[in-house]
Amino acid sequence: MDKELLIKRLTIIKLLYKIGLAQSQNSELTSFFSILSFHDSIEMFLKLAAEAKGKQDCQHFMEYWDKIPGLTLKETMRNLNNRRINLKHKGLIPGKIEIETSRVNATDFFQQNTPLIFGLNFSDISLFNLIKFSKPKEYLILAQSGLDNGKIEVCIEEVTKAFYELLYAYKETKRDWVNKTHFDLVERVKYPSKSYSFDNETKNDKILEDLFEKVNKNFERLENAFEVVSLGLDYRKYIMFKILTPISHRFSDGRYHLEIFGEKNWTKENCQFLIDFVLESALKLQEFDFDFENLDITKFELELIKE
């Protein structure tokens, strides 16, 4: 099997497994869906393993252990399969401990069998390969490297840049002929030009200036919130991201200036959350993307008029 295709399919399998991990952390009302995701990801792995080994596909889940030598955790996977059957076909909702057991079992399965069947470590299969935005992907790789090497501050800096570069990259192809996008909703309100010197500035002038500045800041906050929601990103996760990361300013040349205010709870778990959020956001944006110039010919018409 072509290695590039193999890696791509393993990456998709890992993505489904990661969806299961996220579902398993939900409340008991919905966390049981993780069992279906874990089972589906493992079944996709088994089908890929059979194909790679030149074996005929199996009709039943447990048959793969008879056809593919070396597969481990047969009885553990039988228990997972039974939980899936009880849930999907009998309507029996598993308890929290069964969900946690399924999470551990699925993790063990991939960690043990990926190197045995494909000669690869499951941890080395990067979901970043699914991201089409090159610069955000580079920042995410640096962030993950920082986390893996215990350099928490490096991880925080790079994942912050990754997110804001992702928003920039997505919006960049949607600028119209006056260099604006439909995500640019707010124009700053300016205090009218003064015909007086600072010596003549009155108390009312100062009050009005402060009012205009407050109005601008409020509208900017609303624009930021609406932008995240309109892009289909998880706003609650964005709030957590925003609390944990520095304030970011992007210069026109692509450099970033980051400012940190207050103490941040930068644990490894929080850093992984930030990386996962940016990855999730990138994949969400890729679900629907377009280039403004492919949809609107106004820009080209204006250039013809100029000629």
Q: What is the mean pLDDT of residues 283-307?
A: 69
Least confident of 124-128, 182-186, 196-200, 291-295: 196-200
pLDDT tens digits, one per residue of 189-198: 665 655 445 5
Nearest to 110 by CA among 128, 97, 123, 127: 123
Q: How confident is the model at residue 300 (pLDDT cuts 50, 70, 90)?
A: low
Specify the pLDDT at position 274. Answer: 96
Q: What is the mean pLDDT of residues 119-126?
A: 93
Average pLDDT of every residue of the chain: 87
State how far the Cα of 160 lies from the Cα of 162, in Å rounded to an integer: 5
Specify the pLDDT at position 262. Answer: 80
pLDDT tens digits, one per residue of 143-190: 999 999 999 999 999 999 999 999 999 988 887 766 677 777 656 666
Quote the tokens at residue 243.
Answer: 């609390």
pLDDT tens digits, one per residue of 237-282: 999 999 999 999 999 899 999 998 888 889 999 999 999 999 999 9
Quote the tokens at residue 305.
Answer: 């008029």
Specify the pLDDT at position 181. Answer: 72
Neighbour tally for 144: CB within 10 Å: 21
Specify the pLDDT at position 198. Answer: 53
- Distance set, CA 57 to CA 14, 54, 252 (Å): 21, 9, 54
pLDDT above 90 covers what percent of the chain? 67
Residue 7, burial from CB neighbour count under 10 angstroms (0-12, 13-18, 19+): middle
Q: What is the mean pLDDT of residues 40-60?
A: 94
State how far the Cα of 235 lies from the Cα of 7, in Å rounded to an integer: 32
Phi, psi of 83 (to 5 degrees): -65, -40
Does residue 51 register a pLDDT over 50? Answer: yes
Specify the pLDDT at position 195. Answer: 47
Specify the pLDDT at position 304. Answer: 53
Q: At 167, which helix (H) or strand (E)? A: helix 152-172
Does residue 302 register a pLDDT over 90? Answer: no
Q: How confident is the model at residue 214 (pLDDT cuts 50, 70, 90)?
A: confident
Quote the tokens at residue 117.
Answer: 């069947």
